[in-house]
Amino acid sequence: MERLSVDYGKKSKLEFSVYPAPQVSTAVVEPYNSILTTHTTLEHSDCSFMVDNEAIFDICKRNLDIERPSYTNLNRLIAQIVSSITASLRFDGALNVDLTEFQTNLVPYPRIHFPLVTYAPIISAEKAYHEQLSVPEITNACFEPANQMVKCDPRRGKYMACCLLYRGDVVPKDVNAAIANIKTRRSIQFVDWFSLPQYADLKLISVGIPCKKFLLVLKLVN
């Protein structure tokens, strides 16, 4: 990261930080490595998307009905998140964004660049073809701590920035209605200078995927 900062100082540097968990730990020094790496990330990364193995482990057990999740199961879920974040680079959409806009809209202060990632819906293959989820349902699911990729509870604090990335057959009308419903929930608090309806604060991407039966949404918040 330090070398990249020197060689490509003007380029936006985004990274995915995967933090260890005791359930799938392979080395006793993992916590120490994480702390030291995070310190480097503060100085040499512009935006770092956080992923917690413990949170993903629990999601695999609860939502995907996997009794003993392996690294393969965890990595496949992380791959879906990376795919959704970079989807606008690979597909045409109504309101696509580039990677630079993540830094611009999600990072209010340079050192506070660790957005939380939430992905919905996360359901097993057996249930995928039998459940018909709507835009409001998957949007509400994104604001549930159980669907976060990091073990924490944002309801005890306030959001500074929010970005919603939709994939599938999504229309802005449905999204606006879902957002209006979210704003009425008292458990979701934003800082005073945050204005959700503005385009600078809410990023909407409508991206076509091969099977339009499915709707996906990825939430990035800081």
Over residues 176-195, the pLDDT tens digits come to 888 888 878 877 888 876 55
User: Would you say 63 and 123 are in contact if contact means Cβ atoms under 8 Å apart?
Assistant: yes
Mean pLDDT of the chain: 80
43 among known catalytic residues: no
Look at residue 29 in the predicted model and tell me its pLDDT. 84
33: domain CATH number?
Answer: 3.40.50.1440
Number of domains forming the structure of the chain: 1
Q: Which of 101, 126, 131, 144 is catalytic?
A: 101
Tell me the pTM. Answer: 0.83
Look at residue 95 in the predicted model and tell me its pLDDT. 65
Parts of the chain with a pLDDT under 50? 196-212
DSSP for the chain, please give it.
Answer: -HHHHHHTTTS--EEEEEEP-GGG---TTHHHHHHHHHHHHHHH-SEEEEEEHHHHHHHHHHTS--SS--HHHHHHHHHHHHHHHTHHHHS-BTT---HHHHHHHH-SSTT----EEEEE----HHHHTT----HHHHHHHHTSGGGBSSS--GGGS-BS-EEEEEESS--HHHHHHHHHHHHT-TT--B-TT--TTSTTT----EE--S-TT--EEEEEE-
Look at residue 93 in the predicted model and tell me its pLDDT. 63
- Domain residues for 24? 2-221
